[in-house]
């Protein structure tokens, strides 16, 4: 028998509910206060170190004065000479462009730089993160021994001031700068460099892709506090890139995670380095925050301090929402979709506030469809080369570029840029050819045996597959629908599988997909070992499509050991011919950047590495009169 609630019962339940809500709110507030208290305690600890160091320096100075060391300098006829603590950094070529910018008449420090990421990040912890957005964040916090000169593309010293390569190419010795400190004030030495390598190569650290990249290294050895040697197992064509590009972590902070590897692998942010920016606390970020915020590293060792007080990335997964946020002045840059670019060019509000840039980045990455070939125990339909070739023939890439990207892209042929020395210009993109595709599929045993318009395999099952794609990108959504129609004409059923970004990363790690569309970034010369070598089909490896080719493995191994460029490039071209034949990916396109940036940002221009707005050291700025955040 049901019982009606009396007024007294209702009041009692309402009172208890209110108490419960107050308890939850109080717990949340306490949690926030505890986090803030932790960050404040860390800041106070850091300041205490600075004060302690200052007292030591004052004590030294006092002793010198007592001993009469400064008698000559303190005479009225002679000025006091103040030693620049960054003198060692003043002549660093890496800071040349930033120093020139800092001397412009309207140069000023201050303001915030606010951008957006289109997908939520799973983690920003060094080494274990695997997406480009996390790498972008890390680039402001972590540094390496060398960096590329954006004008010449030559190597320049950063944390290292010089280096020497042995005659056999198997050893590179770096001389480190003596004035470099981490953002917590601790000095960087050769021991930190050695630790960074050993930590990365700890097999319990979940970084198989990066570990594969560093496989040619045999050891990293400290020769005193400020000299370190990288010893290689064999000659390697990117030896200087490998050694000079190693991310340097502070041993004193990361050492505990040598043992607590599981905690490190599951972390969301353990990030502390020597870079111009830092997290307010190395562990302060979590994916539920909705943004990532870095603050200027006041202890930065470089010749030029970072101009912006903060750099922020808001997580805005919807394309339209990002544009609205930019239009409202809450973002400082917007990467336009091709479908809206021309409209925005004649949008008065956008153009009044924006400077725009349309360019093909010199190191533009590529998008692709990866066909998972499965395992030996369970091969997929894409294990057959003829099927993969057919899928590329079905995929009308020119139509995709014209209809979805409005011509602001070019067809990709392989992992190698058409402007790279690695590319064989005799190879041209396959044209869409439905007849050829059906012929190849018939050879592979796929025909429409029951007249329903779908191809069936020898087992009688329909040729259908799921295509995993990132759900937050509108252009990708449109492309997948176009692909669905293309494949349907050939009798192949594509089932769209929109997926959140963190889930996509898990699917890649576990090889839990049949087909996936994604993209890879590129460099000046692309090492394809970690993406396509058979050894990298292991769990969490970057050869997540399980592609194996003995011929390609041999070429990759030989090319990586060939230091002479004139002998290496023919090997890469032979490797490209294998990609062209095997089609482990259907390489889709390389896109132009269509970028709008708020007019208050000054000194933006092109380099051989692309637009300088995101380069380090930072050489853009906002004049004082145009700053909006204080």
In angstroms, the CA 627 to CA 621 distance is 10
- Residue 158 maps to a domain: yes
The number of distinct structural domains making up the chain is: 2
Give the range of the structural domain holding residue 143, as residue numbers without chain letter.
139-273
Sign of CA dihedral 293, 298, 302, 304: positive
Q: Is residue 579 assigned to a domain?
A: yes
Question: Nearest-CA neighbor of 466 among 500, 418, 516, 511?
Answer: 516
Do 388 and 244 belong to one domain?
A: no
Peptide bond into 528 cis (omega under 30): no
Q: Which two tokens stand for residue 127?
A: 């080494």
CATH code of the domain in which 478 resides: 3.10.105.10
Tell me, yes or no, whether 19 lies in a domain. no
Question: What is the number of helices (H) and of strands (E) in the chain?
Answer: 20, 21
With beta carbons less than 8 A apart as the criterion, state whether 597 and 416 touch.
no
Q: Are residues 378 and 265 in the same domain?
A: no
* pLDDT the model gives residue 524: 86
Whether 195 contacts 247, CB under 8 Å = no
Give the C-alpha separation, 611 to 501, whole Å: 26
Give me the torsion for CA of 71, 74, 76, 82, rounded to 10°: 140
Given 246, 273, 300, which residue is the final one in a domain? 273
> Is 54 a domain residue?
no
The separation between the first and the last C-alpha atoms of the chain, rounded to the nearest angstrom, is 65
In a domain, 357, yes or no: no
Residue 321 lies in a domain: no
Give CA–CA dist 463/576, Å, rounded.
29
Q: Tell me, what's the pLDDT at 595? A: 97
404 and 261 together in one domain: no
Beta strands in 285-438 (DSSP E): 291-296, 310-315, 333-335, 354-359, 366-371, 409-411
Do the domain assignments include residue 78?
no
Does residue 582 share a domain with residue 440? yes
pLDDT of residue 521: 87
- Residue 256 shares a structural domain with residue 379: no
Mean pLDDT by 10 residues, the chain (630 residues): 46 59 57 47 48 42 41 30 37 89 97 95 93 94 96 94 95 97 98 98 93 94 98 95 97 97 96 97 93 97 96 94 97 96 96 96 91 86 97 98 96 94 94 96 95 93 96 94 97 97 90 95 90 89 94 96 94 97 97 97 94 93 96
pLDDT at 461: 93
- pLDDT, tens digit (0-9, with 9 covering 90-100), for 138-153: 999 999 999 999 999 9
* Domain termination residue (choose one: 273, 289, 321): 273
Which CATH number does the domain housing residue 180 bear? 3.90.76.10
Query: Please, which contacts does 538-543 make with residues 24 or more away whose CB atoms are closer than 8 Å?
Result: 538/208, 539/208, 539/509, 539/510, 540/206, 540/208, 540/209, 540/509, 541/208, 541/209, 541/212, 542/208, 542/209, 542/212
Q: What is the pTM of this model?
A: 0.82
State pLDDT tens for residues 481-526.
Answer: 999 999 999 999 999 999 998 899 899 988 999 999 999 988 889 9
Residues 232 and 375 grouped into a single domain: no
CA gap 483, 117 in Å, rounded: 26
With respect to residue 74, please indicate whether it lies within any of the assigned structural domains. no
What is the 3-class SS of 461-479, one letter each residue?
Answer: CECEEEEEEECCCHHHHHH
Euclidean distance between CA atoms 317 and 405, whole angstroms = 19
């Amino acid at each position: 028998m049901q019982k009606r609630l009396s007024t007294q019962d209702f009041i009692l339940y309402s009172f208890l509910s209110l108490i419960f809500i107050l308890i939850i709110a109080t717990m949340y507030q306490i949690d926030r206060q505890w986090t803030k208290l932790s960050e404040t305690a860390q800041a106070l600890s850091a300041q205490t170190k600075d004060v302690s160091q200052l007292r030591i320096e004052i004590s030294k100075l006092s002793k010198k004065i007592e001993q009469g060391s400064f008698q000559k300098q303190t005479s009225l006829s002679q000025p006091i000479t103040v030693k620049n603590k960054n003198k060692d950094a003043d002549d660093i070529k890496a800071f040349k462009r930033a120093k020139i910018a800092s001397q412009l008449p309207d140069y000023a420090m201050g303001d915030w730089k606010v951008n957006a990421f289109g997908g939520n990040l799973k983690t920003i912890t060094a080494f274990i993160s695997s997406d480009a957005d996390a790498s972008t964040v890390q680039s402001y916090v972590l540094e390496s021994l060398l960096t590329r000169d954006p004008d010449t593309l030559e190597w320049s010293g950063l944390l290292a001031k010089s280096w020497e390569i042995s005659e056999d190419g198997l050893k590179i010795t770096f001389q480190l700068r003596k004035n470099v400190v981490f953002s917590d004030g601790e000095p960087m030495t050769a021991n930190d460099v050695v630790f960074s390598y050993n930590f990365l190569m700890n097999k319990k650290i979940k970084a198989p892709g990066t570990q594969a990249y560093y496989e040619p290294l045999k050891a990293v050895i400290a020769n005193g506090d400020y000299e370190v040697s990288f010893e290689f197992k064999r000659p390697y064509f990117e030896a200087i890139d490998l050694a000079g590009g190693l991310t340097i972590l502070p041993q004193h902070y990361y050492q505990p995670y040598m043992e607590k590897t599981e905690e490190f692998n599951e972390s969301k942010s353990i990030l502390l380095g020597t870079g111009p920016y830092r997290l307010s606390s190395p562990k302060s970020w979590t994916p539920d925050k909705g943004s990532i915020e870095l603050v200027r590293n006041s202890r930065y060792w470089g010749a030029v301090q970072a101009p912006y007080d903060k750099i922020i990335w808001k997580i805005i997964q919807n394309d339209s929402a990002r544009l609205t946020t930019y239009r409202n002045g809450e973002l400082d840059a917007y990467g336009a979709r091709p479908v809206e670019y021309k409209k925005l060019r004649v949008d008065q509000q956008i153009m009044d506030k924006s400077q725009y840039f349309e360019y093909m980045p010199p190191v533009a990455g590529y998008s692709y469809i990866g066909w998972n070939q499965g395992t030996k125990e369970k091969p997929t339909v894409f294990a057959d080369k003829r099927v993969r070739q057919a899928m590329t023939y079905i995929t009308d890439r020119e139509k995709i570029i014209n209809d979805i990207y409005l011509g602001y892209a070019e067809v990709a042929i392989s992992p190698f840029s058409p402007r790279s020395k690695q590319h064989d210009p005799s190879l041209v993109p396959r044209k869409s050819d439905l007849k050829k595709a059906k012929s190849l599929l018939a050879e592979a045993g796929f025909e429409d045996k029951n007249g329903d318009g779908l191809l069936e395999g020898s087992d009688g099952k329909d040729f259908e597959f799921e295509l995993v794609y990132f759900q937050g990108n509108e252009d990708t959504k449109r492309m997948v629908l176009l692909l669905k129609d293309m494949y349907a004409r050939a009798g192949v059923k594509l089932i769209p599988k929109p997926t959140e970004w963190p889930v996509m990363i898990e699917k890649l790690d576990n090889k839990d997909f049949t087909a996936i569309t994604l993209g890879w970034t590129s460099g000046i010369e692309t090492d394809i070992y970690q993406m396509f070598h058979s050894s990298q089909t292991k769990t969490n490896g970057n050869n997540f499509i399980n592609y194996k080719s003995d011929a390609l493995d041999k070429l990759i191994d030989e090319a990586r050991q060939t230091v002479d460029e004139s002998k290496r490039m023919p090997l890469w071209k032979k490797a490209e011919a294998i990609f062209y034949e095997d089609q482990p990916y259907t390489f889709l396109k390389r896109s132009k950047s269509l970028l709008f940036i708020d007019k208050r940002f000054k000194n933006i221009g092109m380099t051989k590495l692309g637009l300088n707005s995101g380069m380090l050291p930072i050489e853009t700025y906002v004049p004082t009169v145009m700053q909006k955040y204080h």
